[in-house]
Structures are given as structure tokens and as C-alpha cells.
Chain A
């Protein structure tokens, strides 16, 4: 049963703390993405990766970092430099491989709250 898993479902961050959100997919997709959703807003792209060991900044990358050491995994770290981290974080994946008309599929999301 293929899909995208994100953990944890809820995450609490203290001031000055870095936290890491997990994203795993078993769809054999090359491309993976991280989005942030704030109330009343659309999804905004934080980082994306088209292939292992490669990633690019999206529209709102400041205060975040990623790694892509394995095809299946694309963890997102929210650093202490991110001053407004409270949001709903969504991971997505797609086939990639230069396909033009491709669809991104989303995980269930992680809600990050600041204590």
C-alpha cells in the first residue's frame, strides 16, 4: 500500500530549539517537496528535491533546512532562525524525471506549535 507518511502529527517547539519533521514515501517517486500552510492562505513552497543529494530553495526557505540522502526520505528541519514557525507542514512527492504533466501527492501533514 503505497503512500506518503509524515511524523509526528503534532510537534511542539520551544524557543531557540531546532525541530525535524519526517517525510517518507514508498511510491518510488524521484521528486519531493515541503509546503507550509497558514490559516486562510494557500500552500507555499519551502524546499524541493528532484533527485537524491540535490535540493532547491522554494519561495520561503529562510529558517528551514533539508537533506535528501535517500530517495524515500526528505526530512525538514525548522531552525531557531524561523521566527514564525507555527503552521501546518505538508510533504509531497511526484514522479519527477522531467515529466511535464505530473501530479504531486501529499502526506497527511504535521502541525507545528510553539510553546
Chain B
């Protein structure tokens, strides 16, 4: 089992729709969860961080965390073509006590005008 799993997609949504991106992780002790957006040929940029169970909203983005189910998701409301990118889920790994961030393989989102 991979430590952090995402559906690689592509996930295609029409402009204005809600895009839902999902991520599961294996380390039950993980405490920090991040979503990064990566445009083609660019570096990852942080868009959301979440540390507690529940929802966290920032503009059109909502991160949802359920530690019992070891599940973190990202909702993008009113999706725009400019949201088309690869979204990387990152979780801090507790095993080995390094706490390093472990990334999923990313979900490619395509927003069609």
C-alpha cells in the first residue's frame, strides 16, 4: 500500500462546477496535511493546509480532513480553466520519526470552458 494515494485522473469538470479531489494516507499518526497545485513545467505551490478534523475554507477552496478514515479532500468551487493543474496531496510521515512530507502521485484536473 502506498503511503499517500491519489487518483491520477485526469479529472475533467466543466467551468463553474465543483471539483472534488481525494487523498488517502496510511500513517494513522500523521498530523499535518497539505494540498499543493502544480502547473505544467512549474514548481508546486501551497494552496491549503489542514491539521484538525473537519472543513477549512479559503476562498473557493475547501479542505476536508477525516483522521478516523485517513482521508483528506480538496473541493474547488466555481472551477475556472486557470485551475487546470496537477494537485498534490502531502502528509507528514510519522514512521521513523522524521516527520517528512510524503506526496501522493497527484491528480490532474482539467476544467473545460
Do A and B pair up? The answer is: no
Partner-A contacts on B (CB < 8 A): none
